[in-house]
Structure 1
Amino acid sequence: MRSVINRIVTTPPPAGCHATFARLGSTETIELRELSTRAANLAVALRDMGIRPGDRIGILAANCLEWVLLDLAALRCKAVTAGLEPGKFEADAALLARYDLKLLFTDQSSTAAGVRPIREIRDLAVRSTGTLPEVEYGPEEATTLKFTSGSTGVPKGLAASVGSIDSSLRAVQTMFAHGPGDHLFVFLPLSLLQQRYWVYSALCFGHDVTISTYEAAFTTMRQVRPTVVMGVPGFYETVKRHLEAQADPQVAAKELFGDRIRYLWTGSAPAGADMLRFFTSLGLPIYEGYGMNETCIVAKNHPGASRVGSVGRVVPGKEVLFDADGVISVRSEYPVARRYEYGASGPSMGVFGADGTVRTGDIGYLDDDGFLYIRGRADDVIVLANGKKVIVRPIEERMAASPAIEHCVIFCPTQNSLVAVVSPTGEPADEKAIAEHLARTNAELERDERIDRVVIAKPRFSIDNGLLSSQYKPKRRQIREQYRVEIGEKGSTHA
C-alpha cells in the first residue's frame, strides 16, 4: 500500500466525504476536498510567513477546524508540527525557545513574539493562493513532535516518523476496512497524534470524520450518528454507568451513540472485562488494543480475532519480545523514533535500544493463539517483606469493577500491607458499597494480595486536579503525593 502521508499531500481525497467540527453551541461541516484545498492554500501562506521545510510550528488549542488545517498545511510544506496539550503548556516565549518553534498558533491570549492567534488560520486558508513544489516523504522523515501524557516533569517529546504513521494506518485499515459509509468520531485532543490518524484515514480511504471537543461529545454523537467511536476506557465506563441506570440500556445506547455503530475503539489504558462485555451485549462490539507513544499501535482486537482480557494479536510490522521477568519490548519494522528529543536524559533514555527496539515497562505474555495479555507495569510490582511479588493492576481492576468505584490505585507503605486509594463514581461516596466490594474482592484474593485499608479520594480524581492524565489514566505518583499521610507512609507530610 502506498504511503498514506504521501498520498494525502499529493492526491485529492475521494469526493463526497466530509469532516465535521463540533464545539458546544456550534457545528460546521466541510467537504474533504475543500478541506484539502484550504490546507494547500494555508501551506502557501505559511511559506510566505517564512516557514521552510524542517521548521517547527506549535499548535496549542482545543480541537477545531483551524487545528486540522494547520496540521495538513504543515504536511504539505514539510514543516514539523508540535501538538501541545491545552492545560499543560503556556503560550509564552519560553515555550517557543524550549522546542525551537518558528511560530506558535494558540487560542490562548499572548503577546509573545512568534505567537499568533489560531483564529487567523481560517482567513489565511481562504485568501492565500499560489503553488508549492510537490513533496515526498521518506519513511525516516518526521512530521510531528509528539509528547507523552506523562504524570511528572517536562513532557517527553519524540519526533514521529512517516514510516511509523503509515505502518499503523495500514495495519488498522487491514483490520477494520474503513471506507465509504463509515463515519469516525473523535473527541480526544488533537495534540495526541493518534487522534489525527483518523483525519488522515478519512483523506486517504474516503470516509466521514467528526472532530469534537470532549464537552460537546455526547450532544454531537446524537447529531452525526457515527459508525465508529474512538474513546479511552474511562469514557466508556462513564457511559456504561449512565446506560445501566436507564430502564432499557439498549434503547438508551441507540439514543446516545446513534443507530449506525459498527464498532467502538478503545485503548491507551486498561479496559475492564465487564465493560467490554456490557457493550458487546448491547450489540456495540468494542475492541481493545495496546500501544504507546514510543511504539504506536502494537496489538489490537478486531472483528474475527477478539478475546476479552487480551489486547489482541500483534499487528504486522511489530514484534514483541519478553525478558526473564515478562517485561515487554517492541521491535518495529518502522520505528516511531530512536531517541527522545526532549524531556529525557540519563537512565530514562534506555527505553530505546540501539536498533530502535523499545522497552515498554509493561509485563505480559502471549497465549497459544497469539493474543497478547498485559498484566501490569514492572514499576508497579510490589515486593513484600516476605519476598512475595504482587502485581497490583489485576487487583485494581477488580476494585474498579464496583459501580461505586471509578478508579483504584494500590500502594504498599510498609512492605507488609496494601492500601488502596479509590476515586468514587459520585460524591458523596457510597462508603457502604465500597466496603462491601472490598470484602468480596479480598475473599477472592490470596492472603498477600488482600487490601488492608481503603482511602477514599476527596475530591474524586480528575484532569483538573491533576490526578488523571488527558487520557483519563490515574497519575500514580501524584496520587501518592496527595494522599501520603492517609496512605501511612513514614515521615510523610502534606506539601
Structure 2
Amino acid sequence: MVNRITAEAPVGGRISFARLDGTETFSLAELHARAGRLAASLAELGIGPGDRIGILAANSPQWVLLDLAALWLGAQTAGFEPGKFDPDQQLITRYGLRLLFTDRPSEAAEALPLTEVDRLVEKADSAPEPVSWAAWQVTTVKFTSGSTGEPKGLGATAGSIDSSLRAVQDMFHHRPGDDLFVFLPLSLLQQRYWVYSALRHGHDVTISTYEAAFATMRRARPTVVMGVPAYYETARRQLESRAARSGKPAAELARQLFGDRIRYLWTGSAPAAPAMLRFFTEAGLPIYEGYGLNETCIVAKNHPGASREGSVGRVVVGKEVLLDADGVISVRSDHPVNDHYEYAAPGDSEKVFRPGGLVRTGDLGLVDEDGYLYILGRADDVIVLENGKKVVVRPIEEQLRAGGAITEAVLFCPQQTDLVAVVCAAAQPPDERAIAAALNAANAALGKDERISRAIVATEPFTVENGLLTSQFKPRRPQIRAAYATELANPQEGIHAH
C-alpha cells in the first residue's frame, strides 16, 4: 500500500485544512501531483534514498506534501513536535538531517522555512519515477511520547505501516463519502495514516489542529473523528454543562457539536473512561476504543460488529498478544515496527525489544474467552505496599474520575503505607466538598488496601505545555510526583477521606 500511494494517482476524494480563519480544500489528485513536483525539486537539492528530512511545524498542507514527497524519493522523514524540539543546528546534527523544514525561526544552515515548500512545488513541472519500498525499510523516524523521560527515536518500517492500514480498513471500511477529521500533530505517524488511507481508498480527510478542532469540526461535517480520550472528556464536560444551562438533552448538543454526519468516533493512545465512552455511544455517536504503542502500531480495536465495553477490542490480523506469568503483555507482529530504538540510552532497546520479534509493552492485561483484550494498567504503576499487597492504580484512578468532580487522578504511595492521589478539579475554584465526596465514593467501592487516604488538589490542570501530560495526553507520573513532592510527603496536606 505504501508503494501504491505514490505510484498510482488517486481517483476522487479531497483533503481539507481547517483553520480558525477558514478552510483550504483541494482534490487528492492535486495533492498527489503537488507531492510529485515537490519530490522532483527535492531531488534537485540532492535528496534521495536513505536521506532524512526533518519537519518541525504545525499541521499544514506543506507538512503533508513533504511527507509524501519523501515517500516518493525513498527518503525518511523525522517529524518533530513543536514545543518539544528546537529547530537548531544541534537538532540537525543529532538526527542526521539533510534538510529541516520549519515554521519557526532558525539560523541553522540546513533549515528552510516551511513556506519554501510552495516555491519548490511550483519550480518543477513533472514528477520523478517513485521509489519502491521494501517491507523492512524505514520510511520515518517517530518519537515516543516521553511519559517516562526523553523521547526515544523509533524507525517505522514500510511493512508495519502497510499492516496497520490493512487492519484498520478491514474493520472500518472507509470509503468515498467518508471524511476523517484529524487534529493531533502530524509528527505522530498514526495521524498521517489517515492521509495514506484517503489516497488509497478515495475518502476525504480534514486536517486541523487541537486548538481549532472544536471550532472547525461542525463546519467540516466529518463522518469520523480521530481523538484521544482527553479530547472527548473535555467535550463531554462542556456538553453536560451546556445541557444543564439550556435544558436541552446532552445527546442533542453532542450531535450539534460533532456535526450531522458522524458514522463513528475513534479513540486510543491513552485509557478511556467507561463513563465517557458510554456517554457518546448513548448519544448516537458510537465510539470505539483501541490499543497500540509506538513500538507495535495498532494491536487491538473495537469496531462495528465486534465491540465489548471495558475492552480495547480483539487483536487485529497480523498481531499476536502473549501474557507472561504476571499478566504483562508482549506483542508479536508479522511486520514489526522495528527491533530497536534509535537515539536512546544503552539498554533501553533491550528492555522492550525481545528475542523472537517480541515487544514487551509493560502493560498488564487479560484476554477473555471471546478474544477481547482488557488493559488493567502499567506494570510499572503497580504499587507494592509494606504488607506486600500489590495495587494496580489504573482502576482506582478511573473510580476517582467517575463522579465528574475530578478530571485527572494520579495515584502515589509516598510512605508505602497508604495511597495518595494528585487530582485536577473539574470546577474552578475547586469544589472541595465534591472532591471529598468523590474520594469517599471511590473508597466505598474499593478493597481495604486499595483505599485512598487523601487527595492533593493540583494548583493547575495537567497540560502538555506545563510538562505534566505527554503529547498524547497521558499523565507524566514522574513529573507530577516531582511537582507535588512536598505535599505528597506531608501527611497533613490535602483533602482527607472519612
Q: For the superposition of Structure 1 and Structure 2, which TM-score range results when normalised by the shorter chain?
A: over 0.9
Task: Name which of 3, 7, 12 aligns with 1:6.
Answer: 3
**1:21-170 equivalences in 2 (<5 Å):** 21-170=17-166
Partners of 1:129 and 1:349 lie apart in 2 by 48
Paired residues of 1:24 and 1:215 also in contact (CA < 8 A): no
Aligned to 2:496: none
SS at match of 2:366: strand
Q: Secondary structure at the match of 1:44?
A: helix
Match of 2:353 in 1: 352
**Are residues 77 and 347 of structure 1, via their aligned partners in 2, closer, same or farther at CA, if it must alter by over 3 Å?**
closer
| Greater shift in the superposed pair: 122-131 or 49-58 | 122-131
Offset at residue 123 of structure 1 (A): 2.3
- Does the alignment pair 1:277 with 2:278? yes
Task: Name the counterpart of 2:495.
Answer: none
Query: What are the equivalent positions in structure 2 for 1:369-448 lying under 5 Å apart?
Result: 369-448=370-449
CA distance in 1, matches of 2:369, 2:345: 37
Contact 1:414–1:489 (8 Å) recurs in 2 = no
Structure 2 residue ranges without an equivalent (≥5): 492-498
The alpha carbon displacement at 1:214 in A equals 1.1
Equivalenced residue count is 486
Counterpart of 1:493? none
Sort the Cα spacing of 1:89 and 1:489 in 2 relative to 1 into closer, same or farther, 3 A. Answer: farther
Match of 2:468 in 1: 467
Moved more, 134-143 or 385-394: 134-143
TM-score normalised by L of structure 2: 0.96
Q: Deviation per CA, 1:253-289, whole angstroms, max 9, x where unpaired?
A: 1221110000000000001111111101010000000
Counterpart residue identity of residue 110, structure 1: S
Q: Distance in 2 between matches of 1:163 and 1:339?
A: 16
What is the SS of the residue equivalent to 2:261?
coil
Q: Which residue matches 1:20?
A: 16
Instruction: Give the corresponding residue for 1:215.
Output: 211
* Secondary structure at 2:86 match in 1: coil
AA aligned opposite 1:316: V
Shift in Å, 1:342: 1.4
Q: 2:369: which partner in 1?
A: 368
Letter in 1 for 2:69: A
Asked if structure 2 preserves the Cα contact closer than 8 Å seen for 1:340 and 1:349, the reply is no
Aligned residue number for residue 193 of structure 1: 189
1:80-103 CA deviation, whole Å, 9 max, x = no partner?
A: 000101110000000001100000
Distance in 1, Cα, partners of 2:368 & 2:136 = 33
In 1, Cα distance between equivalents of 2:209 and 2:94:
28
2:224 to 216, 222, 228: 228
20-29 or 405-414: bigger deviation:
20-29
Deviations 1:143-200 (A, max 9, x none): 1000011135431011100110000010000000001110000000000000000000
**RMSD between aligned residues:** 1.2
Q: Distance in 1 between matches of 2:355 and 2:475?
A: 31
- Displacement, 1:345? 1.9
SS of the equivalent of 2:354 reads coil
Corresponding residue SS for 1:291: strand
Q: Distance in 2 between matches of 1:396 and 1:284?
A: 25
Residues 347-373 of structure 1: per-residue CA shift (max 9 Å, x gap): 553200133210000000100000000
Structure 1 residue matching 2:168: 3-state secondary structure: helix
| d(CA) in 2 for partners of 1:26, 1:107 | 19
TM-score normalised per structure 1: 0.97
Query: Unaligned 5+ residue runs, structure 1?
Result: 491-495
- SS of the residue corresponding to residue 399 of structure 2 reads helix
Tell me if 1:288 matches 2:289: yes
- Assess if the C-alpha contact under 8 Å between 2:255 and 2:285 holds in 1: no
